[in-house]
Chain A
Amino acid sequence: MEVFTQQLINGVTLGAVYGLIAIGYTMVFGIIGMVNFAHGDVFMVSAFVALIVFLAVTTLAGLSGGVVFLALLLALIVSMIITALYSWTIERVAYRKLRGSFRLAPLISAIGMSILLMNFVQVAQGARNKPIPPVMRDTITLFERNGFAVAISYKQIMIMVVTAVLLGIFWYVVQKTPLGRAQRACEQDPKMAALLGIPVDRTISITFIMGAALAAVAGTMFLTYYGVVVFSDGFTPGVKAFTAAVLGGIGSLPGAVLGGLLIGLIETFWSAYFSIDYKDVAAFSILAIVLIFMPQGLLGKPEVEKV
C-alpha cells in the first residue's frame, strides 16, 4: 500500500509531463493529419531554453528560495515563447509547403526536422548531460507505515498544479473561445472553415504554437524534476508522448491527457514491481494490446457519417 501510493504519486507526475507533450501531437494530428515527429525535439529544445534562462538568472542572483522561484517562472515563460517560435518556424519552413502533397512527404520532413534539432543542440550545447543545481528538494511526508515514508516533493506538487492549471486554461480556450472553435472547425473540415471566413493557415500556425507552448511547460517541468537534460532527451519522452496520444485516441485532447497519465503510471508501476529495464516494453505492449482491441484508442471515436 505504501509503495503503491508512492508510485502512484511518481506515476502521475511523470504522466503529467507525457500528457502535456502528447497534446501537441494530438492537436497537430487532428488539424493536419500528420504526426509531427519533431515535437519531441521541440520539447527537448524547450528544456534547454529553460536551463539557459535558469542558469543565467541564478548565476546572477544566487540560489535563494525567492530567486529560484522567480528563475523557474522566468525560465517557463521564456521557454514557452522561444519554443513556440521554433515550432512556428518549423511549420512554415518544413510542413506548410508540403501540405497537399502525398502523405509521407511532411512525415519525412518532420523526421528530418527532428534530426536537425537534435544535432543542432548537440553541436551548440555539447553532447554531455547539462545539469542545473538541485532545487526544491523539500518533500512533504504524507504518512509513514512499516518504516516506509510516503512522500510528495514540492517539485511533484508544482508539476501537478502547473499541469492542471494549464490544462484547464487550454481546455477553456479550445472549447469556449472563438479561436478554439476555429481550430476545431479546421480540424473537422478545413475547406468549410475557409468558406466561413476562417484563415486556415494561420489557425494551423496557432495550433503549432499552442502545442509547443505546452511542450515547453513539460520541458521546464522535466528539467526541474530530473535536474539534467541532454540533446537526445527529445527522443524517448517524445515517443512515449506520441504513444500516449495514440493510446488515448489520436485527435482527442482528453485522450492525450489520459494516455499520458496511463503511460506514466504503467511505466512507474512496472519499474517498481517488476523490472525497470523492461518499463518501456511494458508501456509499448499495453499500447499494442489496446490498439488490437480498440484501434481508435481509448477516447477516439469514429464519427458515423450521415449521408
Chain B
Amino acid sequence: MSDANKAPLLAIRGVKTYYGNIIALKGVDLDVHQGEIVTLIGANGAGKSTLMMTIFGKPQAREGTIVFEGRDITRMPTHEIAYLGIAQSPEGRRVFPRMTVFENLQMGAHVNNLAYFDTDLERVCTIFPRLKERLQQRAGTLSGGEQQMLAIARALMSRPRLLMLDEPSLGLAPIVVRQIFEVIREVNKEQGMTVFLVEQNAYHALKLASRAYVMVNGLITMSGTGAELLANPQVKAAYLEGGHH
C-alpha cells in the first residue's frame, strides 16, 4: 500500500483485554491508515466489539498500546478520547431512547460545542432523509433501521477523523444495508473520512474495504486487501458461504 510507510492514524499493538479474569482479546495488532476503509470481520463472540470499545477505553486494555495520531490513548478516559476526533456507532446502536432524534444529533455534536451543528444537521438529513421527517420524534420509537441511521448520523455529527462503525448492517433489510454501505463509501470518498468497520456481513464489507482483518477468538488470524480476503478460500468457507448475497 502506498501509505503503508506513513505512521498509521490508529495503531493497535499487542492489545489484551479482559472481562474480569476472562480474556477477550489475546494480543491484537491492527493498523488503520488515513483515508482507508478498514474492515474487521469475524464470527459472533470473536472479540470485534470488544476491540471497538477497548479503543475507547471501555474496558481499558490490560496490556499493549493504542496510538491515535501519534498519541498513546490506551489509558485515556473515554470522554477525552471522544475529543480527539474518534466517533463510534457502537454495537446495539445505543441511541438515547427518551431523547428526540434532534437531541441525539446534538449529543453527537457535543465535542465541538455544536459549532457546525446547522450545517451538519442539513448534511446528515440529506444523507438520511428519513431522519429529517422524524427529528422531533423520540429515538426509542424509531424502527431498527432508523435507529441505525441515527446512530451513524450521530457519529458523523462530531466530524470525526476516524469513524468506527460496529455492525451497521445488523438486523436490517437488504435495501437499507445497501443504503448504509453506500453512505460509508460516500463519506470516505468525498470527505476523506477514515472508516473502521466491524461486520458480520462479510461480503459487502470486504468489497467496500481497502484493507481487512479477520478475527478469531480474540486474535487476528488473517489480513490483506479486501479483494485478497474475498478471494481467500478459508475466508470464503468461513464467512461468505451460506446465503450472503
Q: Given the known inter-chain contacts A184-B98, A303-B97, A303-B140, please indicate yes or no for A197 contacting B106, CB distance below 8 A.
A: no
CB-CB under 8 A from A185, the residues of chain B are 96, 99, 107
The 3 closest A-B pairs by CB, nearest first: A197-B82, A194-B78, A197-B111
CB-CB under 8 A from B96, the residues of chain A are 184-185, 188-189, 192
Q: Given the known inter-chain contacts A194-B79, A197-B79, A198-B79, please indicate yes or no for A306 contacting B142, CB distance below 8 A.
A: yes
Query: Does A277 count as interface, using CB distance less than 8 angstroms?
Result: no
Total chain A interface residues with beta-carbon distance under 8 A: 22
**In the complex, A188 Cα to B103 Cα: how many Å?**
13
Flag if A188 contacts B110 (CB, 8 Å): no
Query: Does B147 count as interface, using CB distance less than 8 angstroms?
Result: yes
Flag if A192 contacts B90 (CB, 8 Å): yes
Flag if B79 contacts A178 (CB, 8 Å): no
Interface residues on B, range: 20 to 34
* CB contacts between A and B, total, < 8 Å: 78
Flag if B110 contacts A306 (CB, 8 Å): no
Flag if B94 contacts A306 (CB, 8 Å): no
Flag if A181 contacts B106 (CB, 8 Å): yes
- The closest CB in chain A to the CB of B164 belongs to A195
- The closest CB in chain B to the CB of A304 belongs to B140
**In the complex, A304 Cα to B140 Cα: how many Å?**
7
CB-CB under 8 A from B79, the residues of chain A are 194, 196-200
CB-CB under 8 A from B106, the residues of chain A are 178, 181
Give, as a whole number of angstroms, the nearest-CB distance from A201 to chain B.
9
**Chain B residues close to A by CB (< 8 Å):** 56, 58, 77-80, 82-83, 87-88, 90, 94, 96-99, 103, 106-108, 110-111, 113-114, 140-144, 147, 154, 158, 171
Most chain-B CB neighbours within 10 Å: which of A184, A195, A306, A307?
A195
**In the complex, A189 Cα to B79 Cα: how many Å?**
14
Query: Does A182 count as interface, using CB distance less than 8 angstroms?
Result: yes
Give, as a whole number of angstroms, the nearest-CB distance from B223 to chain A.
26
**In the complex, A181 Cα to B113 Cα: how many Å?**
12
- The closest CB in chain B to the CB of A182 belongs to B110
Query: Does A191 count as interface, using CB distance less than 8 angstroms?
Result: yes
Most chain-A CB neighbours within 10 Å: which of B58, B98, B171?
B98
**In the complex, A171 Cα to B77 Cα: how many Å?**
30
Q: Given the known inter-chain contacts A184-B98, A307-B144, please indicate yes or no for A196 contacting B108, CB distance below 8 A.
A: yes
Flag if A194 contacts B82 (CB, 8 Å): yes
Question: Which residue of the partner chain, among B94, B98, B144, contacts A303 with CB atoms under 8 Å?
Answer: B98
